[in-house]
């Protein structure tokens, strides 16, 4: 029951948070798929603010919430598991607040890997919908197209990159959050409670952006690439090699600013809301 309560609290916090941060994810996705040969606009040359301006003027403000339905489903599956399973996994592995950083990282990575497998189909739908220019596609129509063209396997495109991303993301996020929170509590520099949670989560979001952006970029390319003869990449490693070779190493950090702009508030509010709603689910500590 403790696990179910933890999953419920994590899912609630995640769905609330993603509703507010989704527009940043749309901008990030447009920047990352730019130049992949899909026939779309070269958003990379426009930059963050240019992309925002073009999307708003040509597609309307509502375009910044393209794929929000898939995003809600993703958060209810992926994030509820990677965030909600962290504490139970720590307990099962005997990891405590005083344990080494890498043990916390391992617990977070395992929770992230489990969550990514459950959430990958919704990740594919969300990515395809956010990258679509013009009229906002319906989630059912996008799912039908993927099923017709690619079958079930189409919903697991980019799964290798997604698992790696989720492991690095959740490992960094939860280990940094736990470690920073512990150091703050020891020093007494910040009042315990909401203020400590806020500072710890915001700091974790910064470090998470640095470690995750390359994996996020590869995942987005793999999930949004054409199929059949026009297929661009054969897995995460092939995508990595081709991107670095044709666009340079810095291309792996395409969309870093919106990634950071998304992770900073999303990590902060997600973890803070998680702490707030835990008592509502009967979770202590």
Q: Looking at the predicted structure, is the pLDDT value of residue 173 above 60?
A: yes
| H or E, element range at 39 | none
Question: Is residue 81 within 8 Å of 118, Cβ to Cβ?
Answer: yes
Q: Looking at the predicted structure, is the pLDDT value of residue 175 above 90?
A: yes
Look over the chain and give the mean of its residue pLDDT values, rounded to a whole number: 89
pLDDT in tens, 50-60: 999 999 999 99
Q: Looking at the predicted structure, is the pLDDT value of residue 152 above 90?
A: yes
Q: Looking at the predicted structure, is the pLDDT value of residue 205 above 80?
A: yes
| H or E, element range at 23 | helix 2-33
Q: Looking at the predicted structure, is the pLDDT value of residue 1 above 50?
A: no
pLDDT in tens, 26-50: 998 888 887 655 446 888 888 889 9
Which sign, positive or negative, has the C-alpha torsion 257, 259, 260, 266?
Answer: positive
pTM as predicted: 0.78
């Amino acid at each position: 029951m403790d696990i179910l309560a933890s999953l419920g609290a994590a899912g609630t916090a995640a769905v609330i948070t993603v509703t507010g941060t989704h527009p940043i994810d749309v901008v990030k996705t447009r920047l990352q798929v730019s130049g992949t040969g899909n026939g779309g606009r070269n958003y990379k040359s426009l930059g963050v603010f240019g992309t925002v301006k073009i999307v708003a003027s040509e597609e309307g403000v509502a375009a910044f919430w393209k794929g929000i339905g898939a995003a809600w489903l993703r958060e209810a599956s992926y994030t509820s598991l990677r965030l909600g399973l962290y504490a139970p996994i720590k307990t099962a592995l005997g990891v405590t607040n005083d344990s080494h950083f890498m043990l916390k990282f391992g617990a977070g990575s395992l929770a992230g890997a489990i969550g990514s497998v459950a959430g990958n189909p919704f990740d594919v739908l969300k990515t395809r919908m956010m990258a679509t220019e013009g009229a906002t596609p319906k989630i059912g129509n996008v799912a039908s197209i993927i099923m017709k063209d690619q079958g079930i396997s189409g919903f697991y495109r980019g799964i290798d990159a997604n698992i790696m991303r989720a492991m690095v993301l959740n490992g960094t996020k939860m280990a940094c959050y736990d470690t920073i929170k512990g150091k703050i509590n020891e020093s007494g520099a910040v009042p315990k409670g909401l203020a400590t949670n806020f500072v710890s989560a915001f700091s974790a979001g910064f470090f998470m952006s640095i470690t995750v952006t390359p994996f996020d970029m590869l995942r987005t390319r793999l999930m949004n690439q054409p199929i059949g003869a026009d297929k661009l990449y054969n897995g995460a490693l092939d995508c990595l090699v081709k991107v670095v070779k044709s666009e340079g190493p810095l291309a792996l950090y395409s969309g870093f600013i919106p990634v950071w702009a998304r992770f900073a508030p999303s990590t902060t509010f997600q973890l803070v809301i998680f702490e707030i709603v835990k008592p509502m689910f009967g979770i202590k500590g």
